Structure 1
Amino acid sequence: MDTSTPHGELLFSIFGALAQYEQALTRERVIAGLAAAKRRGKRAGQPQALDQEKIDQIIEALEAGVSKSAVCRTFSVARSTLIDTLARIG
């Protein structure tokens, strides 16, 4: 496409406008799909590695003086997951 001519410049502008329009439609559809999933009770993203019961048991073990590495081995949890979870719950 030769954009140095008026015809080429017009076509380039039209294709750019169509690309922006398609991107806006895609964004709108994605947002609508996420909203519909949320209404159905679905959660976006990866499921949590630890459920609340396991977190409570881990906290009890840590308060009892068990080391983090022992807790990780006992509950089969990666150390980074344990640290992230503890930071998230405060």
Structure 2
Amino acid sequence: MDLDTRTPTGRLIFAVVAAMAQWERELIVERTRNGLAAARARGKKGGRKPILTDEQVTEALARIQAGENAQTVAAEYGVSRQAIYKRSKNMRKEIEGG
């Protein structure tokens, strides 16, 4: 299709097509949000499953606080030290209700 956006008709067609694309995108976003909300209402939780259990995270933190090298402790669990710290932070948030 030969669309000349220098003419009033060309700009109108371009604007209409752009508006339809934006409308379609917003519909997709709305449907996705509704689907995620419905899944949460059914008790589903999104995201990757945690590698470590809460007990493993607590144990790893205790070992690190006792003086063991964080990198070594994390390697024994097959995760990065950041993974342990991030997971412990998320556990604190859940306990605090946030």
Which TM-score band (shorter chain)?
0.7 to 0.9
SS of the residue corresponding to residue 17 of structure 1 reads helix
% of aligned pairs identical?
Answer: 33
Gaps of 5+ in 2: 93-98
Q: TM-score, normalised by structure 1?
A: 0.75
Cα RMSD for the two superposed structures: 2.3
Q: 1:75 to 1:3 in 2, by over 3 A?
A: closer
Gaps of 5+ in 1: none
Moved more, 43-52 or 12-21: 43-52
Of structures 1 and 2, the one with the larger relative CO (CA 8 A, separation 6+) is 2
Cα distance in 1 for partners of 2:79, 2:12 equals: 59
The answer to whether 1:40 aligns with 2:47 is no
Aligned to 1:69: 71
Q: Which structure 1 residue ranges, 4+ long, deviate > 4 Å from structure 2?
A: 86-90
Aligned residues: 90
Cα distance in 2 for partners of 1:69, 1:2 equals: 61
Code of the residue aligned with 2:58 in structure 1: it is D
Q: 1:15 to 1:73 in 2, by over 3 A?
A: closer
Aligned to 1:6: 8
SS of the residue corresponding to residue 74 of structure 1 reads helix
Code of the residue aligned with 1:29 in structure 2: it is R
Q: TM-score, normalised by structure 2?
A: 0.70
